[in-house]
Amino acid sequence: MAENVIIIGSGPAGWSAAIYAARAELRPLLFEGAITEQNRLQGTLPLGQLALTTEVENYAGFPAGDLAPFLQSAIEAERLAYMNVHEGKHAVTGPELMELMRQQAANFGTRIVTDDVVEVDLGRRPFVVRTLEGNTHEAHALIVATGARANYLGLPSEDAFKNRGVSACAVCDGALPRFRNKPLFVVGGGDSAVEEATYLTKYASMVHLVHRRDKLRASMIMQERALNNPKIHIEWNQALAEVLGNDKEGVTGVRLASTSGGADRELAASGVFLAIGHTPNTAFLNRQVELTEKGYIRWTMPHRTATSVEGVFAAGDVADDYYRQAITSSGTGCMAALDAERWLATQGVH
């Protein structure tokens, strides 16, 4: 029997869609992704990008406080056992927030499968979904909430210090104590890099913007912002060659290589932020859904989550290269569930 709705993805968009779909008695089936080495390396393990961050201070409803008793009362003991619940009174962490959302979706009857969707057939009704483990499922509606992954350079040293000074999200991590009053490096020359560098000047002693060319890609207004900020120093024609550090302190410096000839330089740093773009996780769709020029799923109706294929809805970062926040992803996840429910009703399915 075909499912009413299959949700693909386990970030805030996927869980919020599941909570709403489950409460609408659609009995959603959600694929949270597989736990594989490939997913670990590319940052696409279950629970999404938030599971790769530390404190989340800007998700409404989670102020700083002693959350440990709440987490212990809210989440299944079995999952808590390996969850590393934080101590102290700082805000909820990304992994905790995602476990809470997952639990909330499970509480309302969402069926959760720890597997990747590797292929879909949207040319047939009901839609067909195939998984990494080789299983096939059918669904009348699909909600795609597979998110995006930050691009990294692929340096082994960069991988070794992820979450210990290497980050791809200044807004998520910039305010952490380890970055305060220390030199920081941002890699990239686009609007994101300038925005991240500007944001980080609030905390850093100096922000070095490392760009591989002698001209920024960022818009004029953003370029001026960077050039006029006394706390931003642009490292023109430079590439990040290596992140330096040790087990105890995490990142302690960088080695920069010139892209225009010249010797490598080693400079002190407590953090390195990559801002070289994101890649939406859409490969499994095999272009059966219309994408934007940047490769994100195109929402085809204003203020709705409908896509170019009737019955397929998209939510969260896979369709949003602009806001990219946990709370906006949750919002569009909710919208996708409501859109799917209403569409299924018009089809006489539910």
Smallest separation, CB 139 to ligand NAP (Å): 32
Q: What residues act catalytically?
A: 169, 172-173
Q: Site for ligand NAP (CB under 6 A): which residue of 213, 227, 292, 347?
A: 213
**Phi and psi torsions of 291, nearest 5°:** -110, 160
Question: Given the complex with ligand NAP, which of 62 and 273 has the nearer CB atom?
Answer: 273
Contacts for 332 with CB less than 8 Å, ≥ 6 apart: 13, 305, 314, 315, 316, 319, 320
Query: How many whole angstroms separate alpha carbon 86 and alpha carbon 58?
Result: 18
- 153 counts as binding ligand NAP under rule CB under 6 A: yes
Q: Which is nearer to ligand NAP, 86 or 217 (CB)?
A: 217
Residues 6+ apart with CB under 8 A from 337: 5, 16, 17, 18, 19, 20, 21, 24, 26, 28, 143
Residue 254: HSE in the Cβ half-sphere, 13 Å Cα cutoff: 27
Question: Any alpha helices (H) in 24-82, and if so which ranges?
Answer: 37-42, 68-74, 77-80
**Single residue of 51, 144, 243, 276 touching ligand NAP by CB under 6 A:** 276
Per residue, the 3-state secondary structure of 195-215, as one string, reads HHHHHHCCCCCEEEEECCCCC
CB of 137 to ligand NAP, least distance (A): 34
**Interface stretch with ligand NAP, choices 56-64, 131-139, 242-250, 271-279 (CB under 6 A):** 271-279
Window contacting ligand NAP (CB under 6 A); options: 41-49, 114-122, 182-190, 228-236? 182-190
The residue ranges of DSSP E strands in 106-224, in sequence order, are: 111-113, 117-121, 127-131, 136-144, 148-150, 166-167, 183-187, 206-210
Output 121 or 321, the one with its CB closest to ligand NAP: 321
Q: Are 33 and 114 in contact (CB under 8 A)?
A: yes
User: Do 290 and 298 form a contact (C-beta atoms < 8 A)?
Assistant: yes
* Alpha-carbon span 266 to 245, nearest angstrom: 12
Distances (CA, A) of 12 to 44, 52, 135, 209: 14, 13, 25, 31
Compare residues 181 and 292 and give the one whose CB is closer to ligand NAP: 292
Residue nearest to ligand NAP (CB): 190
Asked if 292 interacts with ligand NAP (CB under 6 A), we say no
Tokens of 260: 């225009």
Enter the tokens of residue 245.
Answer: 């550090």
Q: Where does this chain touch ligand NAP (CB under 6 A) — which range of 65-73, 185-193, 225-233, 249-257?
A: 185-193
Contact call for residue 157 and ligand NAP (CB under 6 A) = no
Stretch that binds ligand NAP, among 127-135, 159-167, 178-186, 273-281 (CB under 6 A): 273-281
Binding mask 32-71 for ligand NAP (x = CB under 6 A): ----------------------------------------
User: Minimal distance in Å, beta carbon 257 to ligand NAP?
Assistant: 11
Does position 208 interact with ligand NAP (CB under 6 A)? The reply is no
**Positions in 217-236 near ligand NAP (CB under 6 A):** 217
**Interface with ligand NAP: number of residues (CB under 6 A):** 15
Choice between 6 and 193, CB closer to ligand NAP: 193
CA distance 207 to 197: 6
**Please, what is the minimum distance in Å from the beta carbon of residue 149 to ligand NAP?**
13
**Binding stretches for ligand NAP (CB under 6 A):** 153, 188-193, 195, 212-213, 217, 275-277, 321
